[in-house]
Structure formats: structure tokens, C-alpha cells
Structure 1
Amino acid sequence: MNKPSTPDLIRQVASHALGAAEKLLPEWLPEGKRNGREWVALNTARGDRQAGSFGISLDSGRWNDFADDNAHGGDLVSLLAYLRGCRQVEAAQEIDQRLTLGFFNSTGIDAQQLEQRIRIAEETRRATIQLEQERLQQKQRQAANQAAKLWQMAKPADRQHAYLQAKGVQPLRLRQLSQGRLLIPLCWDGHLVNLQIIDGSGTKRFLTGGRVQSCYSPLGRISEGCRLYVCEGWATGATLHVHTGSPVVCAMNAGNLKPVAIAMRERYGQSVELVIAGDDDRQTLGNPGRTAANRAANAADALVVFPDWPADAPIELSDFNDLDVWGSQHRKKQP
């Protein structure tokens, strides 16, 4: 009887761990949350202060922190090894014990039996993924229908809305529901699929189950030969659009910059000059805004720009809207 090798055992544990990902990841990264088919969390290994750059796929187990080029891996065993700072075999043994799999304690299992278990586990995983994808698509369709209804019943946004006043921007084409709820449209392939809702206190949320990845909020008309900016937040996009006159698509967060930039390049090809207008998170370890913008630019063959900070600009400012608001207030104080 041929005993399975250590790499075989690790591979088997990784396969079973993926099936239990929604149980394990909240234990390893309790500050995280599920976002579609991804677990987004603070990277505890490098002392993250804000979630957004660190994500783990619930379908494949692949994980990546775009704020750290060395933080990535292909399965949940490598993830736990990274989080614990240990060898993969030690991480596999911990998962083996947590899930009571017994692979590292078993003496009767041979390589052929192990391969059969791996095949069965993989078939089960694929069936589970397909079912989850069908459920996700159904939720996205429902959210898109809800978005269309809310957009239809909403009125043009009030330029005196507290959020717009704080950001120093005009409502442009935003709409507004009762109780001061602003609606920011999210599109995919030119169609409304989701909304970001901002209440009077500035709290933001998307429609439950709505698609976000690769989606964007458009400002202005995209035409052949134009300069097209891709940025994170809507207020930043509104600032860029007004000051440059160019169209802008807002990706809504740093993790979505690259997917949106690639989608724009695929849709418009070289007929537009694509420019990533990145955030500059100077106070955050690894500067995830700058890192995400550079990666998006490289992936989409685009230019990249960042705010040009005056010497006396406060360090907590991070995007083009911050710079514009601070600049306006600063000029008012000048004698």
C-alpha cells in the first residue's frame, strides 16, 4: 500500500477546506464580510485599518491583497499559512483537525483512495459552485429590477442635499427618494443593474444582492477620441467631470478599479484615452488607493494620475474631491 505524500494530503485538505470556506473564513478573518462570491476582510497579517484590498474567492480559494505584491495564494491552506506565519503542512494539519477530516492521523488510506476522495470532493465543489452561481444570478436580476423601479419613482436630486454640500458637487443626474436618500446608478454593459444609496448622514449601501464587480457609475458621454477617466467614488468622479469636461466612470471602490478599467478597454478599445484617476491613501499602510490605480493602469494599458498635493495640504486628504474641497475652503480663508 502506497501512503499518500505530504503534498497529496495538503491538496486533499485544501479541497475540503474550500467546501467549508464560509465556516472557516469568518473564524480566521472575523472582521470580514461576504461580497458576492468573495470574502473581503482586513489583512490581519499586515495590520490593515480598512477593508477593501484583501479578498478571498469562495469558488476557487484564491486570495490576494492588491496592497502587497507578496500576499497572494491559490488555496485556503496557503492562506492560513500566511495568516499564521507557518508552513503549509502545519496549516493543513490545523484545518484537518478543525474539520475532523483525519487525513494526517489515518494509516489505512492509500494514494488511490486519496485520489478518489479528491475527485469526489471536486465534483461536489463544482456542483455547489454552479448552484451558488445560479442563486447569485437570480439575486442580481431581482436587484436590477428593484433598481429600475426605484430610479423610475425617484425625483431629481436636491442640490442642497447634505452629502452634495459636504462634497462641494452638483447633483448632475443623480436622483433622490424620500428622507433624503440619494441614488447613484451602477451600470454594467450600459444597463442599470444596481444603485448605491446615500442617506442624509452620508451612510452608503448597495441594493442587497446587486452586482458591483465590473459595474460603474457613468458621468458624461463617451465618444471616440475622448479622454475617459476611471476613478473610485462618485464625488471624485463628479469633481473630475466638472473640472475637465471629460466623461468619467466611477468604480465605487479600489478593488473594482481594475475590473472596470479592463471592461472600458474591452468595450472601447484604443478609441479612447483611458486615464486612471487614483486615490492617494497616504495614511494607510501600503497605500491601497495608489497601488490599485497603478495595477488597473497596467492591466488596461491606461495612463494614471494622482492628486498633486500642496505642501500645506492635510495628510488625511486622499482623492481629487478632497483636494478640491480643501482648496475651495483654503482660498476663502485667504485675505
Structure 2
Amino acid sequence: MSDVIAKIQRVAEAALSHADTLTSEWLPEGSRQGSEWVARNMARGDHSSGSFGVSLATGKWNDFADRSAHGGDLVSLYSYLNRCRQVDAAMAIDRRLGLGVFRWHGRTGIPEASLTISQTTVTDSHRQRQEALANERALARQEAMARARAEWDSARPASVHHPYLVSRGVPAFDLRQGRRGSLLIPLYANGELVNLQRILPNGAKRFLKGGQVQGAHALIGKPTPGGRLFICEGWATGATLHHLTGDPVACAMHAGNLMAVAGAMRVVLNGSLDLVVAGDDDRMTEGNPGRQAANDAALAVGALVLYPEWPEDCPDDLTDFNDLYRWHQTPQRDDAGGGHD
């Protein structure tokens, strides 16, 4: 038994190197916020994200709305989400990542035939759960696409006086506004409108429930062959880049989506534009996840990478190009800090 525990621990440690990939697969409706993956807790039918978070640095996870739901690593997270034993969770992660940790035959005292039957049962059960989840996600995405089209078509052009636009100091750039004052940012994938990000007047942001985020993007401006395309995280950052340069921008909406969007743009544009990943500089966050994600995306697609250049007297909590732009617009303010996008 001690050997099994040691194997589970080895899988948990190895899984940390793939935390971004695993959490986005297990909790696909979530998003990266700093060094955490924040999502809704599908295990208890949570309807909105915010209370359930997973540390991408340590693997620790916690549901602040359910005191009993917490754990110390990604193996326990998989076990919790799929309602299976930790050893089964470790085996599933081991297979997913190709680690080769669970080569048990002749080592643990478990009869080989019994082990084969157990593994087959676990594999079949896991496959059925994964197929059911995939069908559920596909249906949710279709429903979200229909809601996005209906809401976008019925919306009016966004007011230049919308509080969010005023606070970020950028034009509306063809955004629309819902009946309750929400700013609507359209997200596209494969040329289709697949989701909306709603930004309330108080700055709170919500995607449509079940809608695609990973691989989708918001486009500002029109790409022109022979030109340049920026890829960034948030919409306000993209609006700032387009406002200052006139170049088109694809906004990935969060750091964990930069690589997917960069890859999609590389394929669609077929090398007709220079790609530049304009990354956030999370200087005050351990590991600087903004820089790490931007570097990874640029390296994966052969793009250039660009970061804000911080003057010596600017506040340390600024992280993106919109922060820098606003600080330059109001250099006399001592409190012109973040509130980043």
C-alpha cells in the first residue's frame, strides 16, 4: 500500500507541470486569474464561477461556498470532480500525461488478472463519464451560441459614456450594449459568434454559461495582409493597442487562452501578417504568469513578444498596456493603479 501512495504522490507532483492544461480540460468554463484557475464547481451544480479556485502553482483547490470541498493536489481534485478513488484518479492522470508511473505488474502483490479487470473497469467508467461530459458541453455551447446571436442582434451600439469605457479611457470600437447596461464583447471561433462577455457598469465580467471561451477571441480592427496583428489578454488592453497603433488585435480574454488564439491566428492568416503577443507583466505575482503565458504562446507559433516598459516612477501594481496608457494620461495621480483587464 505504501508503494501505491508513493505512486499517487509522484503523479500529483508531475501533474503540476501540466496544471494549466489539466484544469482547463476538467473545468472548461473557467479562466486563469493570476496564478489560479477560477471556475464554477460542476460537482455541486454551481451556476457561476468565482468561489471555486485551483492554484496552478501548488495544485491546492478550494470551494469557498462548500467548506467540505478542498484538497491539496490535482489528484484529489480529479477524484473529487469524477467521484472516484484517488488511486483511480492518479491512474487516469498518469494515462493522460503518459507518465508511466503505474507499471504495477509483479510489484505490488496485486494479481495481474485482478489488476487488469480493475483497470478495464476504471477505464470504461472514465470513458463513459468523459463522453457524457463532452455531450453536455457540446449542448451547452450550442445553446450559448444561440443566446449570443440573439442578444447581440437585439443590442444597440455601446455608449461612449459607458462607465467601463470611461474608466479604461478607450473608445467602444463597435461594441454593443444590452438592455440592462451591460457592455457586450463578442467572441468568435472559426468565424462564428460563439460567446459574449458581459461587462456590467460596475466592472464585473461574465461569459454566457456554457459558452466557448478557450480558443475563442474578440477581434478589434480588420487584419490586412502584409500588416501586423497583436494578440493580448483583455479587451481593454486590445482596445488600447488598436487605439494607439491602428493595428488589429485579437483579445484572448485570459492568459491561459493566449496560446490557443495565437495558434488559431497563425493557421487562419497563413503567415500573411506578423504576429506580436502583447503580454501582461504580472510583476507582483509569483512566477509572473502573464509573462510566462505570453512567452509560451510566442514561442509556440514563432511570434514576437512585447511587454510594457515601466518608467521608474510608475506604481508597481500596473500590469498591462492599458494600465500604462492610463497612467501616462494622468501622471499627477498617485493612485492611478490597476483594475486590470
The reply to whether TM is greater than 0.5 is: yes
- Aligned amino acid, residue 199 of structure 1: L
Aligned to 2:198, what secondary structure does the other structure show? strand
- Aligned amino acid, residue 317 of structure 1: L
Aligned match of 2:128: 127
- Aligned amino acid, residue 130 of structure 1: E
Work out the CA distance in 2 between the residues paired with 1:133 and 1:141.
Answer: 12
Provide closer, same or farther for how the CA distance between residues 49 and 234 of structure 1 changes in structure 2, counting only shifts above 3 A.
closer
Aligned match of 1:257: 258
Aligned match of 1:193: 194
Work out the CA distance in 2 between the residues paired with 1:137 and 1:310.
Answer: 47
Aligned to 1:135, what secondary structure does the other structure show? helix
Provide closer, same or farther for how the CA distance between residues 147 and 36 of structure 1 changes in structure 2, counting only shifts above 3 A.
farther
Structure 1 residue 324 corresponds to structure 2 residue 325: yes
Provide closer, same or farther for how the CA distance between residues 309 and 77 of structure 1 changes in structure 2, counting only shifts above 3 A.
closer
Aligned to 1:192, what secondary structure does the other structure show? strand
Counterpart mapping for 1:56-67 below 5 A: 65=56
Alpha-carbon RMSD across the aligned residues, in angstroms, is 3.9
Q: Contact conserved, 1:254 with 1:292, CA < 8 A, in 2?
A: yes
Provide closer, same or farther for how the CA distance between residues 6 and 112 of structure 1 changes in structure 2, counting only shifts above 3 A.
farther
Provide closer, same or farther for how the CA distance between residues 189 and 272 of structure 1 changes in structure 2, counting only shifts above 3 A.
same
Seq. identity, %: 40
> How far did 1:135 drift?
1.1
Larger radius of gyration: 1
1:279-321 deviations in Å (ceiling 9; x for gaps): 0011111111111100110111110000011111110000000
Work out the CA distance in 1 between the residues paired with 2:72 and 2:122.
Answer: 16
Counterpart mapping for 1:149-164 below 5 A: 149-164=150-165
Larger displacement relative to structure 2 (117-126 or 195-204): 117-126
Work out the CA distance in 2 between the residues paired with 1:256 and 1:145.
Answer: 23
- Can you give the 5+ residue segments of structure 1 that lack an aligned partner in the other structure? 15-33, 83-90, 97-102
- Can you give the 5+ residue segments of structure 2 that lack an aligned partner in the other structure? 12-22, 44-53, 60-70, 78-85, 92-103, 335-341
1:112-149 deviations in Å (ceiling 9; x for gaps): 11111101210221122112111100100000000000
Provide closer, same or farther for how the CA distance between residues 213 and 42 of structure 1 changes in structure 2, counting only shifts above 3 A.
closer
| Number of residues of Structure 1 aligned to a counterpart in Structure 2 | 275
Q: Contact conserved, 2:34 with 2:289, CA < 8 A, in 1?
A: no
Work out the CA distance in 2 between the residues paired with 1:41 and 1:148.
Answer: 22
Normalising by structure 2, report the TM-score.
Answer: 0.71
Counterpart mapping for 1:212-291 below 5 A: 212-291=213-292
> How far did 1:182 drift?
0.5
Q: Contact conserved, 2:230 with 2:250, CA < 8 A, in 1?
A: yes
Larger displacement relative to structure 2 (258-267 or 108-117): 108-117
Provide closer, same or farther for how the CA distance between residues 309 and 112 of structure 1 changes in structure 2, counting only shifts above 3 A.
same
- Aligned amino acid, residue 297 of structure 1: A
Aligned to 2:270, what secondary structure does the other structure show? helix
Q: Contact conserved, 1:278 with 1:319, CA < 8 A, in 2?
A: yes
Provide closer, same or farther for how the CA distance between residues 128 and 53 of structure 1 changes in structure 2, counting only shifts above 3 A.
closer
Q: Contact conserved, 2:29 with 2:211, CA < 8 A, in 1?
A: no
- Aligned amino acid, residue 286 of structure 1: G
Q: Contact conserved, 1:53 with 1:255, CA < 8 A, in 2?
A: no
Q: Contact conserved, 1:42 with 1:50, CA < 8 A, in 2?
A: no
Counterpart mapping for 1:289-308 below 5 A: 289-308=290-309
Work out the CA distance in 1 between the residues paired with 2:31 and 2:184.
Answer: 28
> How far did 1:50 drift?
5.1
Q: Contact conserved, 1:277 with 1:306, CA < 8 A, in 2?
A: yes
- Aligned amino acid, residue 222 of structure 1: P
Provide closer, same or farther for how the CA distance between residues 93 and 301 of structure 1 changes in structure 2, counting only shifts above 3 A.
closer
